[in-house]
Amino acid sequence: MAATALPRTRGHARRAPRRPLGIVPTGVLVLGAIYTLFPVSWVVVAATKSKAELFSTSTFAPGTGLLSNLTDLFAYRDGVFWLWLLNTLLYAGGGAVLSTAVSTVSGYALATYDFPGRNLIFNILIGGILVPSVVLAIPQYLLFSKAGLADTYWSVLLPQILHPYSIYLARIYARAAIPGSLLEAGRLDGASEWRLFRQVALPMMTPGMVTIFLFQFVAIWNNFLLPFIMLGDDHRFPLTVGLYTLLAAGANQPSLYNLIITGTLLSLIPLIALFLTMQRYWRTDLSGGAVKS
Amino acid sequence: MRVNRLAVAAVAILTTALSAACSGGTEEPSSEAASQSAAPAGPVKLTYWTWVPNMDKIVTVWNQAHPDIQVTVSKQAGGDDAAAKFLTAAKAGNPPDLVQAEYQMLPSFVAADAVADLKAETAQAKAEFGEGIWGLVTLGTDAVYAVPQDSGPMMLYYRKDLFEKYGIEVPKTWDEYAEAARAVHKKDPKVFLGTFSSKDPGWFAGLSQQAGAQWWSISGDAWKVAVNDEATTKVASYWGGLVKEGVIDGMPYFTPEWNKALNDGKLLTWPSAVWGPGVLSSNAPKAKGKWAIAPLPQWSASDNYSGFWGGSSTAVAAKSPNKAAAAQFATWLNTDPQALDLLIKEGAVYPASAKGAALMTEAPDFFSNQPDFWQQAAAIGATARGFTFGPNVNVTYNAYRDAFDKAVAAKSDFAAAVAAMQDTTVADMQKSGFSLAQ
């Protein structure tokens, strides 16, 4: 998603002279769009099918069961779906905000200050990107258990706040977006470092922060393994783990496919809404720079 | 940090399990002391991981009647993941007090010292259960590691209407079943009598039990592993032959493809367990009233055996501070008539206890055409053979999926797949430090 933000400025330059070649990238993008949207469209159609229709009617024939699926889902265990949705919002929203804050501050510091150990820290962070978070889930669980924090909201929030890739992104962005001369000018005018960060750097980093926020929001929203391992109490489950209990209902219980598919569809809506509303921040801030060099 | 844990656990299981008469006695006072010390500080609080539907409603009944022991249900995802999660939690030192344990997973809990021996607390409950079921929670030792909850005796589900349409009789032996498979497939090449699922090792284990297989047994102070015993090899070769011949399909159970075949009447039988109606009514609702049950086909006309597929028990975590209270709840849940009634009605469970099974009178809605469904099921359940699961069933089951996936796709020798399961199981147990008898 971040990639769509950057090429926009380049698009203007290319448009006129290279018209015929333009078909190729467009075609690739269309293929990519179909590839990613196809499963989503299946979810949309399947969510309308009743239990009887789900496995018997043709794949893309709309069904008649959307309303009953929704009623069943909301009635399932006295509306536990809403609780899971709220939990997910808390984990994804809270986690993404905290993670963006930490990443922005660290990225800004790494990009603009020269201090001993800076490269070491940065290299360790880059190494951290290479370690998949899946690998860390069980050690994190054991650590949190020792601290008595397992099976709490913190056990899911805290591990997702420090995200090496986001810090890396923030550093790259800060480096490119904040000219050293601007900070120098501010210092000469007697602004404190805190004020420089808040009033000069922060507005310029907003598009980068939005990207990091969205990345983290989506990543936490979709995260399964960490909450699955950390949480025992089903009233703290996010949607991913909650819906999974409907799928793996035990060997002798049927999977509640209808409810899972409908729940999946509903859980997509906040993500789509978020992207549509956040998109404009990329545009306004990328086009309106503070310094023209 | 715990490289040798499995080796230690292996020794531990064998010492506690085999000389449980003495070790059971030493465990006992400590758990009682723990529950007593916790008692004055208000009601005992227990957490319970389970995936039985509506268990919270059943527990509410207990909580109202027992203000001093309050149970909180946490509904988990079922199956292998639940077992892995419980083992991880037990290792980290914060397991729930009570946990739903599938019979095939219980030995791995015991090997990891994750569940408590309930021998003293369940002395009276023992009489409520059949021997085959009880063996699943004692692992053939003197200890008792859980209270049985539900069971899955196997039977043959078949499409009565389509059997009549294709003019075939309900098969009494596996030979007749093979003949019927050929006959059906000849009449309509798109229709199969059944399918061999390479994704459901529990199903295959149940069929092997029926044939008399004993994959694991404890011999002296060592495990004996015989996944490739004669009975299992016979079962595998039988199905392998039919798959190779092309008269039995190779699609796995519980897939959308399978659901579709059931709905379209392309599959005529399903050798499955007593909990089958729930699956059929949900995945193939169109065929309501068209299915019927019969005992599994037998290996020889004079036999009358069945096996178990699925089923679970209620275990108490070894690290629970309130073991006595937890055992009391587990016993109530699985033997008290009121609890059994709730388990049946709210939890859609087929109770393991004889008293509970007798409570099942009204045939499932999906089988309204067969009013004696539960009487038949009980009669079949009484013929189920006992079985002991080993401490690494998950490894054996994964080996099943790997080997049979390939064997079904290539239509190759199924007996070789069984041999691969045996080799993988033995290699894993050796690596984990279990001592094996030859």
CATH number at residue A240: 1.10.3720.10
Residues of chain A found within 8 Å of residue B94, distances taken between Cβ atoms: 145, 150-151, 232
pLDDT of B53 higher than 80: yes
Q: Is the pLDDT of residue B3 over 80?
A: no
Q: Does B307 touch chain A (CB under 8 A)?
A: no
Closest CA to B147 of B353, B419, B409: B353
In a domain? residue B158: yes
Distance from CA of B221 to the nearest CA of A (A): 32
pLDDT of amino acid A258: 87
Same domain for B21 and B87, yes or no, is yes
Per-residue confidence (pLDDT) for residue B17, from 0 to 100: 38
The average pLDDT across B40-53 equals 87
With 70 as the cut, is the pLDDT of residue B251 above it?
A: yes
**Residue B348 pLDDT greater than 90, yes or no:** no
Residues B61 and B183 in one domain: no
B162 shares its domain with B289: yes
pLDDT exceeds 80 at position B438: no
B318 and B114 in contact (C-beta within 8 Å)? Answer: yes
Packing angle of the helix pair B174-187, B230-245 (nearest 10 deg): 10
pLDDT confidence of residue B81: 85
> For the ranges A107-111, A118-122, A198-202, B21-25, which has the lowest average pLDDT?
B21-25
Domain count, chain B: 2
Residue B377 falls within a domain, yes or no?
A: no
When mean pLDDT is compared across A174-178, A283-287, B232-236, the lowest value belongs to: A283-287
The predicted pLDDT at position B20 comes to: 36
Note whether B250 and B293 are same-domain residues.
yes
Residue A293 lies in a domain: no
For A180, the domain range is 66-285
Average pLDDT, chain B: 87
**C-alpha–C-alpha distance, residues B332 and B309, integer Å:** 24
What pLDDT sits at residue B41? 63
Asked if B146 and B246 sit in the same domain, the reply is no
pLDDT for B386 beyond 90:
no
pLDDT of residue A287: 45
d(CA B359, CA A120): 70
What pLDDT is stored for residue A59 in this prediction?
A: 81
pLDDT of residue A251: 59
pLDDT mean over A94-109:
96
Task: Please indicate, yes or no, if residue A6 is contained in any of the structural domains.
Answer: no
Q: How many domains does chain A have?
A: 1
B277-303 per-position pLDDT tens digit: 888 888 888 888 999 999 999 999 999
For residues B146 and B209, membership in a common domain is answered with no
Question: Does the CA dihedral B130-B132-B136-B140 come out positive or negative?
Answer: positive
Tell me if B415 sits within 8 A of B233, measured CB to CB: yes
State mean pLDDT over B379-395. 89
Task: Please indicate, yes or no, if residue B374 is contained in any of the structural domains.
Answer: no
Give CA–CA dist B203/B272, Å, rounded.
7
Token representation of residue A138 = 């069980």
* Domain-located, residue B100: yes
Average pLDDT score over residue span B106-125: 93
Residues B18, B116: one domain? Answer: yes
Q: Is A48 part of any domain?
A: no
Could you tell me if A65 and A53 are in contact, meaning their C-beta atoms sit under 8 angstroms apart? yes
pLDDT of residue A2: 42
In a domain, B382, yes or no: no
Q: Are residues B287 and B330 in the same domain?
A: no
The residue of A49, A55, A235 whose CB has the most chain B CBs within 10 angstroms, and thus the best one to mutate to test that interface, is A55
Range of the domain at B413: 153-307+388-432
The pLDDT of residue B385 = 87
Write down the pLDDT at residue B358: 84
Cβ–Cβ below 8 Å for B275 and A251: yes
Q: What is the CATH number of the domain that holds B108?
A: 3.40.190.10
pLDDT tens-digit map of A233-270: 999 999 999 999 988 876 566 678 889 999 999 999 99
Tell me, yes or no, whether A111 lies in a domain. yes
Task: Check residue B250 and give its pLDDT.
Answer: 94
Specify the pLDDT at position A30.
Answer: 95
Q: Is B41 on the interface with A (CB under 8 A)?
A: no
Cα–Cα distance for residue pair A54/A261, rounded to 1 Å: 10
Chain A residues with a Cβ under 8 Å from any Cβ in chain B: 51-52, 54-56, 77, 138, 141-142, 145-146, 150-151, 228-229, 232-235, 241, 244-245, 247-256
